[in-house]
Chain A
Amino acid sequence: MGYYPHFPVSTQRLRLRQFTRGDVDAVFDYRGRADVALYLFDSALSRDECAQAVQQRIVHTNWAEEGDKIVLAVELSDSSRVIGEMSLIWRDVDARQAEIGWIFHPEYQGRGYATEAARAVINLGFYGGDIHRIFARCDARNSPSWRLMERLGMRREAHFREHARFKGGWDEEFIYAVLQREWQGENQP
């Protein structure tokens, strides 16, 4: 049981690989920014916090039990520059559910890199990890994130209003999902 994928995973323009200790500055470059953190659970991270985060990510490369995360650095194939990160969390072992997440450096947004990386990670989940349903959540105001979910062909399954508190205000949240049998066509590996 469990899922131990092989890395790196290459796409047309990107390489998805394990984090290494040398990635702290690259991570601080985007996780240190307030605009990036706006709709994330954490606020902008200090360099020390980024060092800790990278330390944790180094071992987040497989699923052994429920709740485990696979967190990958996304780098440009050409320059090896780290432009963001992708995550896939094993949420429910019996019902084969996983949650996908993404964070990219603003300087590298708007070019389809997140879409490309997300497709590769969804393929990992469905075909490598034999996941039945992959879902994603975001703040309803985070339009780049939910537009990405729509671009991926995910379906809006929830729109919660004031169901929780978030950073001192009421939270409004979208949940999108796609089933393995719905994931096809141009999205195939």
Chain B
Amino acid sequence: MSGLNFPITTNRLVLRPFERSDVPLVARYHTLPSVQRYLARPTRYAEDVAGAVEVMRNQIGLQRPGDVLTLAMQRKGDQAVLGHVSLKWSDATAGQGELLFCIDPAHAGNGFLTESLTAMLNLSFDHFRIHRIFVRCDGRNHHSAKLMQKLGMRLEAHYREHALFQGEWDEELHFAILDREWQASSKVRPLPLRERVA
């Protein structure tokens, strides 16, 4: 899947691949304990950040199932790196993709993720022709859950104590949306909160 042009711009952000020079910007938030859950691999120490950026820097396309595309969320104007959004092509035969994201808590709550994830949903459905996009989040993270519902995603699963995460029982939500349910290149539509499936 080619023909993808970077950067992708939204209202207030530029979404672009990571660069080596991002390491100090990413280090600001990437080692915070509250952020670890949202990372592919924990980066608890400053010296882990360069490695994490190196991995993300190479996630620039989806050639085969399992591949990940990761883009830095950079604010226009002051050029601050606020976090990242990723699209993982999880299954080819059923056209499934997973969105993952991570934001510097200092910048959460300002709609930056809504903006970035909307762009990623457009990209997933319009460019990559994904059939269904899903997002997993911590059952206790009400901000994420609200964000998913705002994007029009449906709560499809609510697992309780189905796994251990860092030695504690985990609670996990799955949200999903099908290509036909997402209006191509739409702005974020305000939707009523959906009933929980479970």
Residues of A within 8 A of B (CB): 92, 94-95, 97, 132-133, 135, 155-165, 170-171, 175, 177, 179
Contact = CB atoms under 8 A, between A and B. Distances in A.
Contact of B132 (A159, A163, A175, A179): A163
Interface stretch (B44-52, B79-87, B154-162): B154-162
B198 A133 contact: no
B94 A92 contact: no
Contacts of A155: 160, 198
B125 interface: no
Q: How large is the interface on B (under 10, 10 to 19, 20 to 34, 35 or more residues)?
A: 20 to 34
Contacts of B174: 158, 160
Contacts of A163: 94, 96, 132, 134, 156, 176
Contact of B156 (A95, A161, A177): A161
A159 B157 contact: yes
A95 B93 CA distance: 30
Contacts of B164: 94-95
Contacts of A179: 160-161
Interface in B117-176: 131-132, 134, 154, 156-164, 174, 176
Given A155-B198, A165-B93, A165-B94, A160 B157 contact: yes
Contacts of B157: 157-160, 175
The binding surface of chain B is classed by DSSP as strand
Given A162-B132, A164-B94, A165-B93, A157 B160 contact: yes
Given A156-B198, A157-B158, 14 more contacts: A133-B162, A155-B198, A157-B162, A158-B159, A158-B174, A160-B156, A160-B174, A160-B176, A161-B132, A161-B154, A161-B156, A161-B176, A164-B91, A175-B159
B191 interface: no
Contacts, number: 67
Interface of B: 91, 93-94, 96, 131-132, 134, 154, 156-164, 174, 176, 178, 197-198
Contacts of A95: 161-164
A62 B154 CA distance: 39
Contacts of B163: 92, 95, 97
A177 B178 contact: no
Contacts of B91: 164
Contacts of B154: 161
Nearest to B131: A162
B130 to A, nearest CB: 11
Contact of B197 (A94, A156, A162, A165): A156
B156 A159 contact: yes
B111 to A, nearest CB: 28
Contacts of A92: 163
Nearest to B178: A162
A158 B94 contact: no
6 closest Cβ pairs, A-B complex: A158-B157, A159-B197, A95-B164, A164-B94, A165-B94, A95-B163
